[in-house]
Amino acid sequence: MTENLNQVPKVPDVTQEDVEKLKIELTTTKQGLEHVVDELKEERRKRREAEEKLNPSKPIDEVSEKVRVALMEDKKKQAELNRVKALEKFQEENKEFHPDNDPGGLKMALLQKELNGLKTDDAVLAEDFLSLLDKAKRLIPTIAPETPVTIVPPASTPITATPPRVRVESKLTPKEQQAAQSVGWTEEKFLKIKTAQPRFVEQLLSR
C-alpha cells in the first residue's frame, strides 16, 4: 500500500503526430475567427451605408457656411431695427429734425449728407446709431451771414468808365447762392423750395 502512494503517475508521451494535429486545429480555429471578424466588419459597413442613405450628412464646411450666413442676416435685421429706434429718439430730442418741423425733409437731407461720410458698417446697437447721428449733426456746416463790402476809390484816383461785363444774372442773392451750394441744390431747386416753403428757407438763411 505504501509503495503505491509513493509512485509518481506517468505522463502520457506526446508524439510528433499529436503536435501536428494540434497545429492544424489551431490554424483552423484561427481561420474561423478571422472569417467571423470579416463578416462582422462587412455587416457594419452595410449597416453604415444604409444609415447614410436614410440620413445623408452634409459636409461640415457647408453647414458652417449656412450658419454664418444666417447669423449675418440676423445681425443686419437687428441693426436696421436699432437704426430706426435711434432715429426716432434723435428726432424726439432734436425737434428741428422731426418731420412736423422739417417740411420736405430738408434738414434731414443735410443730416444724411454728413452721415454718409461717417463709417456706419460697424454700428449694430441703437446707442451706436444715436452717437453717429449726434456726430453728423455737429458736422452740418453753419451758414455765416455775409457782410457787404463797399470799396471806395481814393479821391486822387480818376474814375474811368469800364466796359460792362457780360454775365448770367442769377435770381438768387449771394447769401441764397451760398446756402444752395452748402446743401447741394441747384438754383432752380432752391427757387421751388423757396416758393413752396418760404419759412423754411428763411430759417436756413438765418443759420
Query: pLDDT, tens digit, for every residue of 163-184?
Result: 555 455 677 788 888 877 877 7
C-alpha grid cell, residue 8? 509518481
C-alpha to C-alpha distance for 26 and 171, rounded to whole angstroms? 115
Query: For residue 143, what pLDDT band results from cuts at 50, 70 and 90?
Result: very low
Does 206 score more than 80 pLDDT?
Answer: no
pTM over 0.85: no
Domain that holds residue 118: 63-139
Look at residues 141, 158, 160, 157 and name the one whose alpha carbon lies nearest to residue 207: 141
Report percent pLDDT > 70 for the chain.
76
Query: For residue 108, what pLDDT band results from cuts at 50, 70 and 90?
Result: confident
C-alpha to C-alpha distance for 192 and 195, rounded to whole angstroms? 5
Shared domain for 68 and 125, answered yes or no, is yes
Q: Does some domain include residue 58?
A: no
More confident residue, 38 or 150: 38
Average pLDDT over residues 61-70: 83
Q: How many CB atoms lie within 10 A of CB 180?
A: 22
Does 149 score more than 60 pLDDT?
Answer: no
At which residue does the C-alpha cell 430738408 appear?
Answer: 106
Average pLDDT over residues 113-135: 87
Domain-terminating residue out of 121, 139, 157: 139
Shared domain for 130 and 185, answered yes or no, is no
What's the structural domain count of the chain?
2
C-alpha to C-alpha distance for 191 and 197, rounded to whole angstroms? 10
